[in-house]
Structure 1
C-alpha cells in the first residue's frame, strides 16, 4: 500500500488524471482515417470529441459529490471499470453511431480520474502546497499528451484505428489493479458529506457566489477552450489542409505539448516565489498574445504548419501555468467539499470547451482561420477574466459543514 504523501502516490494520481488527455489526444491522428472507414464526414468524427467532453462535463457533477460522501477510491474504481468497457465498445464499433455511444460512455467513466485526482491532492496537501504539487503532477501528466499522438499515429500505421481504443482498454485495466491493490483512501471519515440533493445544491450555489472560484474557473475554462479548439481542428488543418503525414502531425503535437510541460515546470518552480496571481497574469498574457498571433497569421494568409505550431507552443506554455494555479485557486477555500468544487470546476471547464470545439467543427472552412480565431478568443477571454475578477480581489467561503451520520463515523 502506498503512503499518501509519497512521490509514488503523486505519480499514480497523475496517471489517473492523464486518462483525460490520453482519451482525447491518442486518436487525433486517426480522425481522418476513421471518417473514411466509417463512411462519414469530418463533422461527425469531430463530434466524437465534443460528445466526449460533454459527457465528461456531465459526469463530473455526480462523481465529485458522491466521492465527498463515500470516498475517492471506490468512485475511481467504478469510473475506470466503465471506461474499460466503453473503450472496448469503441474498438469494435461498426458505425459512427456506435462510436459516438462508446465515446460518451468513455467520458462518463473517465471523468472520475481527473476530478478525484485533483480533489485527492487538496485532501492530502492543503490549500497552499496544492498549487505546487498540482504543477509537478501536471508535469508528469504532460508526458501523456506528448506521447499519445505519436503512439496513436504508430498504431494507426501498423494496426488500424481500432487499436488505439484497445490500448486505452489495457491502460484502464492496469489503473484498476493499482487502485484496488495499492491506493489508500485520501478522504478522512470526518470530512465526509451527505449526498442529499439539498446539500449538493447548496454547495454548488455557494461556490457560484464565490468571486474567486468563478474567476479561477473561467480563467481555466477559457484557456482550455483554446486548447480544445486546437484538439478539435488541428488534425484536419495540419493533415488534410497543410499536408502533414500522421507521423509528422504527431511529432508537431509533441513539440506543442513540450511547451505545456515547460509551463508546468515553471509554475512549480516559481509558485512560492511569485505567487499564484503573478503567475496567472504572466500566463494569461502569453495565451492572449500567442492566440492573437496565430489568428493574425491565419487571416493574413500564412497557411503553413509553423504558423500554427509555433504560436500554439507559446499558448501551451501559458496554459501549463494556468492549469495548476487556477485549479489550486478554485479549490483552496473549499476544503469541506473539495470533490464538489472539483466537479463544478471541471463541469464548467469541459462544457465551455465542448461548445467551443463544436463551433470549430461547425464553421470549419478548410483552412486554419476558424481554429486560430477560436484559440485567440480563448486566450483573450482568459486575460480579461483575470483582470476583472481576480486582480481586483475576490472572497472565499467554506462549504457547509459536512453532515456526518453513523456510517461516516467509521473509518473508510
Structure 2
C-alpha cells in the first residue's frame, strides 16, 4: 500500500495542516476590518464583502487547473508555486489604493490558495486511501477551524495597532515561511506522475459523471454556502446593526470556531462508530434545526439569538463536510488531484454562486442564512434511497 511507502511523520502531517490553513486565514483574519475597508475606500459594505466572495470564486475556478497540474507534475511543486503566488498577492493587497486593486489582488490570492488546498487533499487521498481519507479530512477540518477562533483575535489586534493593511502583510510573511518549509521538507506522494496532456475534458467528465461524486460534492457546496453566508453577514449584523465592538465580535466568532473544532474532531469518531450515512444524517438534521431556530428566535435583536443557530449550523457543517468530501474523493485514486479540484470548485465557486443568488432576493441576513440551511433538506431523501445506501456501504 502507498500508505506504507510514504512517510507520514509529524512533520509531514504538520505541512498538510499548514497547507489547508491558507484559505481560511485569507478570509478570517481581516473580518473585523471589513467596516474599516469600506470606510477607507468610501464604498458600500457589499464591496468590502466582495473581497471574500471574489477570493472564494477565484479559488474554486483555479482548482480546475491546479488539480490536473498536481496529477501531472506532482503535489509538491504545485503547492510551492501556489504559496508564493499567495504571498505576492497579499503584498499587492497591502499596497492597494482602491477597492478595484484590492479586489484584483484577492482574485490572484484565490488562485494561489486553490493550489494549497488541492495539494493537501490530493496528498491525503494518496497516502490514506479511500477508506481513511474522509477521517483524515475531518481532522484537517478540525485544524482549519482553529483559524476562525484565532485569526479574528490576531486580526483585531493588528487592525487596531497597525491598521487593516497589516493583516495582508501577515499573510505574506506566513506564506514565505511556509513556502520555505515546503521546499525543504515536503515529500511527493503522487503514485504515478502522468505523461499525458494535462488539460483533457475527459478527465473532468469522468469525475463529474460519477453520481457518488456529484451528490457528495453538492453537499460540500451547500454546507459551505451556509458558512459563507454567515461569514459575510456576521460583521454587518453584529457590529453595524447590533452595535458590538470589534472585541465583542471576535468573542462570538471565536466561540463558534471552538464549537466547530470540537465537531470536526468528533466527526471521525462518529463515522467510525456509526458509519458515514449516520454522520451525514446527523449533520444535515442539525443544520435544519439551526435554520428553524434562526427563524423562530429574535435573531435581529440579540447576539446570542443570532449565534445559537450559527452554532448549530457549524456542528452540521463539520459533520457534513468531513464525511462528504471523503466520500466524493473515494472512487478516484488515479485522479485524486482532479477530483479534489472539482470538490473545491463545488465548495468554493459553487457556494459563492449559491450565496450570491440567494442574496439577490434582498432578504434580511437572518432569513438569507436560514434559507441557505434549508437548501440541504432534499439530501435526506437521496441519502436514504437505494443508491444512497449503496454508496455508504461500499467503504464502511
User: Which TM bucket (shorter chain)?
Assistant: over 0.9
SS at match of 2:376: helix
Note the C-alpha offset of 1:323. Answer: 1.4
> 2:58·2:349 contact (CA, 8 Å) conserved in 1?
no
User: 1:390, 1:62 → 2: CA distance?
Assistant: 34
Asked if residue 61 in structure 1 is aligned to residue 64 in structure 2, the reply is yes
Alignment of 1:5-404 (within 5 A): 5-188=8-191, 190=192, 192=194, 194-198=196-200, 201-297=201-297, 302-359=300-357, 370-388=364-382, 391-394=385-388
Note the C-alpha offset of 1:328. Answer: 0.4
- Aligned-CA RMSD value: 1.9
User: 2:38, 2:309 → 1: CA distance?
Assistant: 28
User: 1:76, 1:216 → 2: CA distance?
Assistant: 25
Note the C-alpha offset of 1:391. Answer: 4.5
Q: Deviations over 1:238-280 (max 9, x none)?
A: 1000111111111110111112111111112222111111100
**TM-score, normalization: structure 2?**
0.93
Note the C-alpha offset of 1:191. Answer: 5.3
Q: 1:390 to 1:257 in 2, by over 3 A?
A: farther
Q: 1:193 to 1:225 in 2, by over 3 A?
A: farther
User: 1:392, 1:26 → 2: CA distance?
Assistant: 44
User: 2:37, 2:358 → 1: CA distance?
Assistant: 19
Count, aligned residues = 386
List runs of 5+ in structure 1 lacking aligned partners.
Answer: 397-412
SS at match of 2:251: helix
User: 2:385, 2:173 → 1: CA distance?
Assistant: 45
Q: Deviations over 1:287-344 (max 9, x none)?
A: 111122113335xx75211111111111101111111111100000111101100111
> 1:115·1:343 contact (CA, 8 Å) conserved in 2?
yes
Bigger CA drift: 227-236 or 303-312?
303-312
Q: Deviations over 1:22-70 (max 9, x none)?
A: 1011111100011101111111111111111111111110001111010
User: 1:194, 1:371 → 2: CA distance?
Assistant: 48
User: 1:196, 1:171 → 2: CA distance?
Assistant: 30
List runs of 5+ in structure 2 lacking aligned partners.
Answer: 1-5, 392-396
Q: Deviations over 1:57-89 (max 9, x none)?
A: 111100011110100000111111111000001
Note the C-alpha offset of 1:360. Answer: 6.4
User: 2:218, 2:197 → 1: CA distance?
Assistant: 26
> 2:69·2:198 contact (CA, 8 Å) conserved in 1?
no
SS at match of 1:197: coil
> 1:216·1:390 contact (CA, 8 Å) conserved in 2?
no
Q: 1:138 to 1:196 in 2, by over 3 A?
A: closer
